[in-house]
């Protein structure tokens, strides 16, 4: 069931949870943007679901320091498992066991391929418990408000969900433009870092050669 849908940043008693999940999702996805033809880009819808912390989550999902949000109402931290509208393309060998794959250009909510669906299905498939706040509510972040298929899908689930979202689905174009700008800056910094690293390695090799 859906208890509430809250825009990230709006004032609410659970605002800090939404901000933490938004930050984790953004930082996670930007690592892969443009790498190895994975297909992650500014056009994806991405999600992060709060799960119970473990020393090491199954199948390589590790409870890294950057994957821990602030304490909730009950004072506990949480880890995150991620979903994306691109996972239906078979990008994640773990998700492939729990997400319906397809070869079409777009993911399908009726086939449970949208971001919030993949995050929840992977968490359930791995047997990782959802983290709950002091009132027993589960939390998930998704870039856009659930579509006409995902909203009833979430409403039909047995868990009580608070859905934190980035923007309304109707405003996704502006959101994507902002994220494209951010991802472009990250890619530029990544290329600059690689170039500087290569130059430093060349200098070090030249100095070593002179010493020899």
Does residue 99 surpass a pLDDT of 60? Answer: yes
Is residue 188 one of the residues assigned to a domain? no
Does residue 2 surpass a pLDDT of 90? Answer: yes
Is residue 186 one of the residues assigned to a domain? no
- Both tokens assigned to 60: 């390589």
- What pLDDT score was predicted for residue 61? 38
Residue among 128, 28, 38, 136 nearest 82 (CA): 28
Give the percent of the chain with pLDDT over 90: 20
Per-residue pLDDT, averaged over 31-48, amounts to 63
Query: Residue written as tokens 């790498």?
Result: 35
Taking the C-alpha atoms of residue 123 and residue 101, their distance in angstroms, rounded to an integer, is 17
Is residue 17 one of the residues assigned to a domain? yes
With cut-offs at 50, 70 and 90, classify the pLDDT of residue 187: low
Q: Which helix (H) or strand (E) holds 152?
A: helix 150-155
Higher pLDDT, 163 or 51: 163
> 39: left (phi > 0), else alpha (psi -120 to 50), else beta?
left
Is residue 83 one of the residues assigned to a domain? yes
Per-residue pLDDT, averaged over 124-132, amounts to 87
Highest mean pLDDT among 5-19, 69-83, 96-110, 182-196: 5-19
Does residue 132 surpass a pLDDT of 80? Answer: yes
Higher pLDDT, 172 or 89: 89
Per-residue pLDDT, averaged over 38-65, amounts to 62
With cut-offs at 50, 70 and 90, classify the pLDDT of residue 39: low
- What pLDDT score was predicted for residue 36? 45
Question: What's the total number of domains in the chain?
Answer: 1
Query: Which class for 157: exposed (0-12), middle (13-18), buried (19 or more C-beta within 10 A)?
Result: middle
Q: Which domain holds residue 116?
A: 2-173
- CA 65, 71, 76, 79 dihedral sign is negative
Query: Residue written as tokens 């870092």?
Result: 193
Is residue 51 one of the residues assigned to a domain? yes
Q: What is the pTM of this model?
A: 0.72
Is residue 109 one of the residues assigned to a domain? yes
- Both tokens assigned to 142: 């998704």
Is residue 74 one of the residues assigned to a domain? yes
- CATH number of the domain where residue 52 is located: 3.40.140
Is residue 210 one of the residues assigned to a domain? no
144 and 167 Cβ atoms separated by less than 8 Å: yes
For residue 166, the Cα-to-chain-centroid distance in whole angstroms is 12
């Amino acid at each position: 069931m859906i208890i509430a849908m809250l825009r990230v940043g709006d004032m609410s008693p659970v605002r800090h949870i939404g901000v933490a999940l938004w930050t984790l999702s953004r930082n996670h996805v930007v690592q892969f943007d443009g790498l190895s033809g994975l297909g992650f880009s500014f056009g994806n819808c991405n999600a992060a679901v709060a799960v119970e912390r473990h020393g090491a989550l199954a199948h390589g999902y590790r409870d890294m320091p950057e994957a821990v949000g602030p304490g909730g109402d009950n004072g506990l931290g949480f880890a995150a498992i991620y979903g994306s509208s691109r996972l239906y393309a078979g990008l994640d060998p773990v998700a492939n066991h729990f997400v319906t794959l397809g070869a079409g250009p777009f993911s399908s909510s009726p086939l449970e391929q949208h971001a919030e669906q993949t995050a929840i299905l992977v968490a359930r498939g791995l047997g990782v418990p959802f983290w709950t706040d002091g009132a027993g509510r589960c939390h998930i972040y998704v870039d856009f408000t659930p579509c006409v298929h995902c909203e009833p899908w979430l409403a039909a689930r047995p868990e009580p969900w608070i859905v934190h979202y980035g923007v309304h689905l109707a405003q996704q174009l502006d959101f994507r433009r902002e994220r494209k700008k951010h991802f472009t800056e990250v890619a530029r910094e990544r290329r600059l870092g690689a170039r500087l690293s290569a130059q430093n390695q060349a200098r070090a090799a030249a100095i070593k050669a002179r010493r020899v």
